[in-house]
A and B are shown apart, each in its own frame.
Chain A
Amino acid sequence: MTRRFTAGIAVLAVAGLIGWDLKASPPNPYAAPPILAIGSGLSTAGGFCGALPN
């Protein structure tokens, strides 16, 4: 058995995660923010490992 097998599992797991999530929580492209945060006039709203939630 080679790394082709384990790398394939990793890619399939990513594909599975995205596929399951698309069904469970479909995104809405019409509610997407501007392409760049800089210059958008909007506050950052993403989750980050260095930040506590408000």
Chain B
Amino acid sequence: MSEHVIAGALAPRPILKRGGLIVAAVFVVLAVAALAGARYGLLLAVGLGFGLALEGLRFGFAGPWRAMILRREPSGLWAQLLAIGIVTVFALPLIANHGGELNGAQAPIGFAMIAGAFVFGVAMQVVLGCGSGTLVNAGSGNPVSLVALPFFAIGSFAGAYHLFWWTGLGALPIMNFEGWSGVLITLGLLFSVAMVAWKFATPQKRVLPRRLVIAAVVIAALALANLLISGQPWGVVYGLGLWVAKGAVAAGVDLSGSAFWAAPATAERVTSSVLTDYTSLTDIGIILGAFFVASWRVGGLSAKLPSLPARAWVGTIVAGFLLGYSSRLAFGCNVGAFFSGISTGSLHGWVWFGAAFVGSIYGIKLRPILGLEARS
């Protein structure tokens, strides 16, 4: 008993620890604003908000798709559709009225795009973490995501390096829903998907918990703030590849052989600070926000690390790389293509959703084979 008393006396009191976390969060935002500019500090705050909301309210993408496929639980998927719908109502009219200042996540549908989305769906179920989910999980101490993340970044860099070769295989022109008619069409499609999920759902599980409604509203508000502050939708993958490109250039690697990385605008970003890159800031914010939530929770970081077989770690590394590579070919991950693509009217977001969902079915089957969970 005396050991417990001593341990309790040495452990930081929750109120002190939590006060320290709040001070740390405010400090990093103000520091970035002072070092790089107010817009960048504000965007880091938005990223922190994403991390806090995703981890704190348990809002995700890979997990809810898995729940829908395996257990016919539609609540997480419905929350995603609700958040996308809220953003759509505001984003499409704003983009129509502020063309140039605000841009949507508009990308072409093509062979590589569809294949990339399918592979992303497989890989995100293998590591049980999508674009945002891998960042959240790494920040909250999930060792699988922590190992996958650097390979995700390397894959993103490599996919961008080869992107023009892949798009040369064939792609349609960019197709978008625009303005208020686009809002109505998108909401109609979102409602249709929600109804399909309702039809396939287990009857007892046809409920949307209040927590997920709140999460959807908060995530939508943050996504809109991201759009208004940066002029572009919420994205994840670009920033990860940029970090590797900066490292490669610092190591003396010549990127002039890549049409993507040698393009003037991209080359300029490689030499600029990561604190002035929008997706880098929100990515950093998501990791730190998730860390703050896990630290805030009593016992949030006390779970023991799992013991996994070697093939699970090899599978994690390969899946991490594929997450990055495929999401570049697919013009985004679950955030940049699915969430932001659909909510800003891009048809490629819908195609991404279909291909990645089919890929998820195979990824769920692959996960136990790779030793990442007990075989059922």
Contacts and interface: CB of A to CB of B under 8 A. Distances in A.
15 contacts: A2-B304, A3-B300, A5-B141, A5-B305, A6-B143, A10-B138, A10-B139, A18-B275, A32-B39, A33-B37, A37-B101, A42-B231, A44-B232, A50-B332, A52-B163
A45 B100 CA distance: 10
Given A46-B277, A48-B336, A50-B235, 10 more contacts: A4-B141, A10-B146, A10-B291, A25-B246, A29-B37, A35-B38, A36-B229, A38-B94, A43-B100, A46-B278
Given A35-B38, A50-B331, A9 B235 contact: no
Interface in B311-361: 327-328, 331-333, 336-337, 340-341, 346, 348
Given A3-B141, A11-B288, A36-B39, A48 B101 contact: no
A49 B324 CA distance: 11
Nearest to B106: A50
A42 B332 CA distance: 24
Contact of A10 (B39, B141, B232, B266): B141
Interface in B32-64: 34-40, 42
A3 B291 contact: no
Interface residues of A, number: 45
| Centre residue among A5, A10, A31, A35 by max chain B CB count within 10 A | A10
Contacts of B272: 25, 27
B274 interface: yes
B146 A27 contact: no
Interface of B: 34-40, 42, 94, 98, 100-103, 105-107, 138-143, 146, 149, 156, 163-164, 167, 227-233, 235-239, 242-243, 246, 250, 260, 263-266, 269, 271-279, 284, 287-288, 291, 294-295, 300-305, 327-328, 331-333, 336-337, 340-341, 346, 348
Contact of A27 (B37, B250, B331, B348): B37
B265 A45 contact: yes
A3 B246 contact: no
A21 to B, nearest CB: 5
A54 B238 contact: no
A14 to B, nearest CB: 6
Contact of A47 (B273, B279, B284, B327): B279
B36 A46 contact: no
Contacts of B301: 2-4, 7
Nearest to B274: A21
Given A35-B229, A46-B277, A49-B237, A41 B101 contact: yes
Contacts of B229: 35-37
Contacts of B265: 45, 47, 53-54
A40 B98 CA distance: 10
A42 B38 CA distance: 16
Nearest to B228: A38
B132 to A, nearest CB: 12
A49 B101 contact: no
Contacts of A2: 141, 301-305
Given A3-B141, A35-B42, A36-B39, A46 B101 contact: no
Given A5-B305, A27-B36, A32-B40, A53 B266 contact: yes
Contact of B36 (A5, A32, A42, A54): A32
**Lowest 7 A-B CB distances belong to which pairs?**
A32-B37, A3-B141, A37-B231, A7-B141, A53-B263, A44-B231, A27-B273
